[in-house]
Amino acid sequence: MSRFFWVRHGPTHAKSMVGWSDLPADLSDSAQLERLSTLLPQKAVVISSDLVRASATADAIAGQRQRLPHDPELREIHFGAWELARFDEVEDQARLHAYWDEPGDIRPPGGESWHEVTARVDRAVNRLLAAHPTQDIVVVAHFGVILTQLQKALGIGAYEAFSHRIDNLSVTELHHADDGWQILRINHLP
């Protein structure tokens, strides 16, 4: 069995759709970072998205754990033309609402659809499973990335997956065995 500990990066304090923009995380709460690091298994490998908010968070909690190279396939949703826009700033409100209310093949202009995000993240997870079977894996990533894996583990639709809260510096723990995925905790704040 492989155990995945999905950690959402530290907060950016942005009030807009932040996907592939490389905004830094606020990692000033050293006590919370220490609690998070202590909660995670000490013999785990640690990997992150290549965006600085995730990679810096991973570096802050890695401790003596083996740090794997950043993986760009673990990036947040690519919002394309909507990047860094607030919802009320997007001109095509019908498309914006359809993207969130009927996630699937709809994509922002120049961005990616929910199905494309899911396929990208699944490739990264499959590589991790193949490279580190029966090992604990800490993945520091993003809201959308974590939701793709919750959707798969829960066997629910994307719209239902979006109903889950994933706070910054929270842990979502999923176990993978031959019979599939098991969820141990969602959005746990240490």
Domain boundaries, the chain: 2-76+113-188
Which H or E run contains 141? strand 136-141
Reported as a pLDDT band with limits 50, 70 and 90, residue 175 is very high
Q: List Cβ neighbours of 93 (8 Å cut-off, separation of 6 or more).
A: none
pLDDT digits (tens, 9 = 90+) for 39-59: 999 999 999 999 999 999 999
Nearest to 155 by CA among 120, 180, 137, 128: 180
The CATH number, out of the four listed (3.40.50.1240, 3.40.50.2000, 3.40.50.2300, 2.70.50.60), of the domain defined by the range 2-76+113-188 = 3.40.50.1240
Residue 45: per-residue pLDDT: 98
Q: How far apart are CA 98 and CA 67, in angstroms?
A: 38
